[in-house]
Amino acid sequence: MNKKLSVILAATVLLGLFLGGCSGDKQDLIKIGHKNYTESRLFGQLYSVLLETNTKYKTTVTEFGGSQLVLAALKSGDIDLYPDYTGTLYATVLKKEGEKDPEKVFKMVKDFMEGPDYNFIIGKPFGYNNTYTLSLPQDIAKKYNLEKISDLVTAGPELRMGGTMEFLARADGLPGVKELYGFTFKEEKGMDPGIRYTAIENGNIDVTDAFSTDGKLKEFNMKTLEDDKNFFPPYYCLTVYNGSFQKKFPGAMEAVEKLAGQISEDDMQEMNFQVDSKGIPERKVAEDFLRKKGLIK
């Protein structure tokens, strides 16, 4: 064999080894998706840390602008898993409304999403419900003895409501909750989400809408009123997997599902607070939480 041919053969073997290594790496890479807000970004990092610590797999994390984009990416195989909420899937994918029982909503979502239209896998809920709330400063709650939304029947006419335009307009927002509970406010103002808490702090409004795990609720020491008539739909967070996930990544689902039942509203609110108000990176917050729960060392 001449020297030139030996060099060509050696180069071919090296190229083959390189490509083979790339192929193997690709098969061991789990592609995580999430939406474009803090809570979803945190789950991207929770998944990544869990998987890279407890399995042989490496991960990438990609952000998407909304539900339809991330669902399309999961269906096409561009990502392998992402976090979502039972109420979101129930309303946006199943196109349904009205059911408030958390277990029934979960079963309907699971049965449909695991059916032939999507062939996804629906994981177990993490434990917390990130649904709409009505919240107000502790001193105002104490002054009017407010613990639950029903208490607004007597106190509401003396209070000023400042909420997002969407909440003030949607049937499953303020109009619906007022109709069910039978209360009114002294005044209602629509405002951008970012200025609601400044308006609270400045005394321009008394009550606002929020999601139960908002970090701002902790930052501003807000009182959240109990939805004692269960008006707001359940929004339990869980993992949505591509249908081929278990086959492609043996052992990976078991690692992710360690989060099932492990996160309370207070836990999620604290994590959001750490990122949004204290500026701590999502991955550091995720690592600290998982270590605290004993899910990583």
pLDDT for 193 equals 83
pLDDT for 98 equals 86
pLDDT for 154 equals 97
Residue closest to 125 by CA, chosen among 227, 14, 256: 256
Residue closest to 86 by CA, chosen among 68, 63, 64, 103: 103
| Residue 239: both structure tokens together | 């993992």
Q: Is 259 helix (H, G, I), strand (E, B) or coil?
A: helix
Cβ neighbors of 18 (< 8 A, separation 6 or more) are: none
- What CA–CA distance (Å, rounded) separates 44 from 51? 11
Rg of the chain's alpha carbons, rounded to an integer? Answer: 24
- What CA–CA distance (Å, rounded) separates 280 from 22? 34
Asked whether the beta carbons of 236 and 89 are under 8 A apart, the reply is no
Residue-by-residue pLDDT tens, the chain, 297 positions: 444 444 443 443 344 334 444 444 567 999 999 999 999 999 999 999 999 999 999 999 999 988 889 999 999 999 999 999 999 999 889 999 889 999 999 999 999 999 999 999 999 999 999 999 999 999 999 999 999 999 999 999 999 999 999 899 888 789 999 999 999 999 999 998 889 999 999 999 999 999 999 999 999 999 999 999 999 989 999 999 999 999 999 999 999 999 999 999 999 999 999 999 999 999 999 999 999 999 998
H/E segment holding residue 46: helix 38-54
pLDDT for 25 equals 54
pLDDT for 14 equals 41
| Residue 131: both structure tokens together | 């649904």
Report the residue count for the chain.
297
pLDDT for 26 equals 62
Asked whether the beta carbons of 70 and 64 are under 8 A apart, the reply is yes
pLDDT for 50 equals 97
- What CA–CA distance (Å, rounded) separates 112 from 114? 5
Q: Is 222 helix (H, G, I), strand (E, B) or coil?
A: strand
Residue closest to 221 by CA, chosen among 230, 210, 229: 210
- What CA–CA distance (Å, rounded) separates 205 from 187? 9
